Chain A
Amino acid sequence: MKITVEEDKCCAGGQCVLAAPEVFDQRDEDGIVVLLTDTPDSSKYEAVREAAQICPAACIHVADN
């Protein structure tokens, strides 16, 4: 799995962090999403997919390899 985010779409609500706290965080200054890893291990896949589906700005993309 490879994750990419479109920072300029992020609306900074942090729903991704609630869904997958080991993969996503938010910048202190403006709350924009920070990817802690773009290739999480498989135990996180489900939570990452959930984050991508929940993200209200549709800015998290997941590619399976």
Chain B
Amino acid sequence: MTPDAGREPARVVVVGASAAGLAVVEAARSQGYRGELTLIGDEPHLPYDRPPLSKQLLTGDWPPERLLLREQAHLDGLAVTMKLGQPASTVDADAREVVLADGDRVPYDALVVTTGVRARCLPGSDGISGVHVLRTLQDALALRAELVPGRRLVVLGAGVLGAEAAAVARGLGAEVTVLDPLAWPLARIVNREIGGWLAEVHREHGVDLRCSCAPVTGLHAAEGHVAAVELADGTVLPADTVLVAIGATPAVEWLAGSPVTIGGPEPASGSGGVLCDPRGQAAPGIYAAGDVAAWQDPATGEYRRYEHRLNATEQGRAVARALLDPGFTPPPSVPYFWSDQYDLKLQTFGTLDADDEFIVVDGSLGARRFIGVSHRDGLVRGALGVGMPRQLRAWRTAVAEHAPWKETTPA
């Protein structure tokens, strides 16, 4: 009965009903899987898309219904048993059962972990109203309700989430301050040059962006509502609303005691995700995909976790194939990411490390339409584009293959 020995698993159970989990069940059916499929999710909603939470939903342009990833009728066609609205609390690997919070036990032959990440909270902010994180639909609706003209919003963290929310909040007329101890915005994704350029864009739109700032030491509250943010250097910033956008941690608590291995804190050791081989397998009969998963890169041996929307779908699809075909090896993937801020669309293929050489090959930063390519040791590593999506795609193959660097767009 070992599903890894080449037989198709009779029951596939997927825990985490979002982008990655949906991709697993959808791709399993496309691959001809006829067995039982169960999708378990702690949120009460059908799978919905998260990127719009800090974009079209936060602006108010889209109602929540538009975030639905698939219509009910489409899901019905996949013949998936959906168990929504309650979390998985443990895995009993000996019995091959997932135990839900209400005690229900769901047997599996193959288990796929797609529980994503949870927003990191600010210690000591419990019970203070006006302090938000942004990960779920509920979070986004609660934040949106406070973004009104004149409102003083302080955003902790100038990563993608903080930067996008700041842009939306400015558009809605809020007074926005963004704090980050790092030297430039989106520091984990873009290099200093692009970070500096982006900082200018935010300042031009009236954001009080404070990079390299002292760490936040605590919040002041008045009558249970947040009143100010205090920094280690003694600065006190008045605030009506605080958005804590300081990163996220993989949702792996429920896997304690299961045979999977959780990665170390460093990016190369999986940054707290479920360690998987290059096919997404974490332990016999257990797989992981999406934000929660740290797959091994066969080229470097490192375990890397990506919090990118396309990665969730690609890994979910690859796991579905690996489950059904023990000989399947996924093609090397090219990390893809996008972010919308004001009227700008940033996109990246691959990675832009701080030490890589970065050269603008098309357009210009001043025109706010450009493509830049990063390379190291003469080989292309990543490409970043603003406002030139179609042209950027031409670089994807060069990034995928780490092609020798040259300044002309590859044919």
- A contacts, CB < 8 Å to B: 9, 11-15, 17-18, 26-28, 30-31, 49-50, 53-54, 56-58
Which residues from B are CB-within-8-Å of A49?
30
Subset of 5 A-B contacts with CB under 8 Å = A13-B310, A26-B390, A31-B390, A54-B313, A58-B69
The interface residues of chain B, by DSSP majority, are classed as helix
Partner among A12, A18, A27, A53 whose Cβ is within 8 Å of the Cβ of B30: A53
Partner among B51, B310, B387, B392 whose Cβ is within 8 Å of the Cβ of A15: B310
Instruction: Return the chain B residue nearest A17 by Cβ.
Output: B393
Q: Are A14 and B310 in contact (CB under 8 A)?
A: no
Q: How far is the CA of A50 from the CA of B389 in the complex (A)?
A: 21
Which residues from B are CB-within-8-Å of A58?
49, 69-70
Q: Are A57 and B345 in contact (CB under 8 A)?
A: no
Which residues from A are CB-within-8-Å of B66?
9
Q: Are B390 and A56 in contact (CB under 8 A)?
A: no
Q: Are A56 and B393 in contact (CB under 8 A)?
A: no
Q: How far is the CA of A30 from the CA of B66 in the complex (A)?
A: 22
Q: How far is the CA of A37 from the CA of B314 in the complex (A)?
A: 25
> What is the number of residues of chain B that contact chain A, defined by CB distance less than 8 Å?
27
Q: Are B338 and A13 in contact (CB under 8 A)?
A: yes
Type the 1/0 row for B306-350, where 1 means its CB is closer than 8 Å to any CB of A. 000110011001000000000000000000101010000101000
Partner among B26, B310, B345 whose Cβ is within 8 Å of the Cβ of A12: B345
Question: B160: CB under 8 A from chain A?
Answer: no
- B contacts, CB < 8 Å to A: 19, 23, 26-27, 30, 49, 51, 66, 69-70, 309-310, 313-314, 317, 336, 338, 340, 345, 347, 387-390, 392-393, 396
Instruction: Return the chain A residue nearest B388 by Cβ.
Output: A31
Which residues from B are CB-within-8-Å of A9?
66
Q: Are A56 and B310 in contact (CB under 8 A)?
A: yes
Partner among B19, B26, B70, B389 whose Cβ is within 8 Å of the Cβ of A26: B389
Which residues from A are CB-within-8-Å of B392?
31
Instruction: Return the chain A residue nearest B66 by Cβ.
Output: A9
Which residues from A are CB-within-8-Å of B388?
31
Q: Are B389 and A31 in contact (CB under 8 A)?
A: yes
A11, A15, A27: residue with the most chain B Cβ atoms closer than 10 Å = A11
Q: Are B313 and A11 in contact (CB under 8 A)?
A: no
Q: Are A14 and B393 in contact (CB under 8 A)?
A: yes
Which residues from A are CB-within-8-Å of B51?
11, 56-57
State how many angstroms separate the Cβ of A52 from the closest Cβ of chain B. 9
Q: Are A12 and B389 in contact (CB under 8 A)?
A: yes
Q: Are B347 and A12 in contact (CB under 8 A)?
A: yes
Q: Are A13 and B317 in contact (CB under 8 A)?
A: no
Q: Are B310 and A28 in contact (CB under 8 A)?
A: no
Which residues from A are CB-within-8-Å of B393?
13-14, 17-18, 26, 31
Q: How far is the CA of A18 from the CA of B388 in the complex (A)?
A: 17
Which residues from B are CB-within-8-Å of A27?
390
Which residues from A are CB-within-8-Å of B387?
30
Which residues from A are CB-within-8-Å of B23?
53
State how many angstroms separate the Cβ of B122 from the closest Cβ of chain A. 30
Q: How far is the CA of A57 from the CA of B19 in the complex (A)?
A: 10
State how many angstroms separate the Cβ of A42 from the closest Cβ of chain B. 16
Which residues from B are CB-within-8-Å of A28?
390
For the complex of A and B, 7 pairs with smallest distance between CB atoms: A31-B389, A12-B389, A14-B393, A26-B390, A56-B310, A56-B309, A58-B69
Q: Are B390 and A53 in contact (CB under 8 A)?
A: no
Known pairs A54-B313, A56-B309; A12 contacts B338 (CB<8 A): yes
State how many angstroms separate the Cβ of B22 from the closest Cβ of chain A. 9
